[in-house]
Every structure is written in structure tokens, then in C-alpha cells.
Amino acid sequence: MKLYTDKPLRIGFAAALLIFTLIISDVSLISGFEKAVNPAPQKMLFSKGSMPNMEDITGEIPDWMARWELAKVLSYVKRYDESVAEYRKVILEKPSLHKVRIELANVLFWWGKPDDALIELKHVPTDTIDEKTKVLLADLYMNQKNYEKAEPLYAGYLEKYPEDDKVRLRLAEMLSWSKRYDESLTEYKIILKSRPDDTQVRRKYAFVLSWAGRYPEAIKELRKTLK
């Protein structure tokens, strides 16, 4: 890239341009989980340790980095097919830059291709996957109804971030789908303790009470949600 300046581009400025990245969308507590979790794309900041090696920047932004940014921007405007194509080109050139593959997995998920997203994440070494990406991996397993693999990922995340009601709701729903009603109800109670006025969560809780045959309690909870 040529800039109209009589001095070479300094690394500090190039690095500043790299602040544009993807974040997993913070969807509403219920709407994002009604379907197999498939949030809309937003920008995502580099996590610790994910910044490219600055030794690769020699004064100008290299082609691979410009292509990476192009892939991100294309995903922001939901041109997913083009975005995925650019991500794959970056991966061919920088196969050890695992952050690129993780972002590609997110874009594939947003595009409605969860199976392809899971394939990409399987190429990423476990020790390079951050907590949010583990949740994405759990979502992908849940989408495949592979609850045995999804559950420990959700549980491990919640041990570190017990206040994350969105993830706890996914776990509660998954447990109910597995007919593990008592365990599911326990998770719902934790959510309702912090969100007592959340009508939709309470209705889901009531439904699980009904499925468990606890009809008087289900009636009581459902009445709370109706005027």
C-alpha cells in the first residue's frame, strides 16, 4: 500500500489500524437462543496474545494483513461468501495464525454453516482457544445435539464467569432437552435469582416444571407471567 508521505509508515501507526476486529455479538438473553445460537456479526477486539507478530510489519501494511482486514469488513456487512474466501486465503499464507481461523469459524456460524465452523475450530490447538471461543464450540456441539461434549464446555466457562446468564440459559435449556429436569431447574433458579422480572425465562422455567410433572408449581410460575 502506497501512502502520500515523504516518510515511511511507522509501525505504531500500522498497529493502530489493527484495532478493527470481530466480537461475538451480545444478543438478548432469549432471542439469541431460540434458534441454534447464531448471533449477528459485530466487531471483535484482539484478545490477549492474539495480535500478529509485529516483526512481520516492515514499514508498510503487508498484503496478508490487508486481506485479513478485508475479510473482517466483508463480514460486518454480511457478505459472508466473500469474507470466507478472503479468510481462507489468509490461512493459506499464515496457517499458524490461529486467531484467523477462529474468526473464520465465527463468520461461518453467522452465515448459518455451523458444521463448517466446527471443522475449522477442530484445526485450532486447544491451548490457543479462549473462553469465548469455547462457548462457541459448545454452541456448535449443541447444534449437533452432541450434548456430552457441549456440557463440560458450558460448565467450565460458568465456573469462571458464573454471572453470565446467557450462557447459563443455554446450559439450562440443553439439560431440559436431555430430560435432566432437576438439573435444568437448578440452573433456571440461578438465572431467576438475578433476573426475577424476566418473563420469558420464568415461562421457560415453568415449562420445565410442567415437563417434570410438577404441575402446581408450573401453574404458579405461569400465573406470575400473565396479567
Residue among 115, 111, 120 at smallest CA distance from 91: 120
* Domain boundary assignment for the chain: 1-125, 168-227
Amino acid 58: pLDDT = 61
Identify the segments of the chain with pLDDT beneath 70. Answer: 1-58
Q: Nearest to residue 32, comparing CAs of 20, 44, 24? A: 24
pLDDT of residue 126: 86
Q: What is the pLDDT of residue 53?
A: 54
> Which pLDDT value is given to residue 127?
85
44, 23 contact by CB (below 8 A): yes
Tens of pLDDT, residue by residue over 75-115, are 999 999 999 999 999 999 999 999 999 999 999 999 999 99
pTM value surpassing 0.75 = no
pLDDT at 224: 96
The amino acid occupying position 25 is S
| Residues paired with 65 in a beta bridge | none
Beta-bridge partner residues of 22: 43
C-alpha cell at 191: 438465572
Tell me what pLDDT residue 52 has.
53
Q: Under a CB-based contact definition with an 8 Å cutoff, are residues 71 and 87 in contact?
A: yes
Type of residue numbered 53: N
pLDDT at 75: 96
Grid cell in block for residue 18:
489493527
Q: What is the CATH number of domain 1-125?
A: 1.25.40
Tens digits of residue pLDDT in 35-45:
444 444 555 53
Instruction: Name the architecture of domain 168-227.
Output: Alpha Horseshoe (1.25)
Residue 67 and residue 35: Cα distance in Å, rounded? Answer: 32
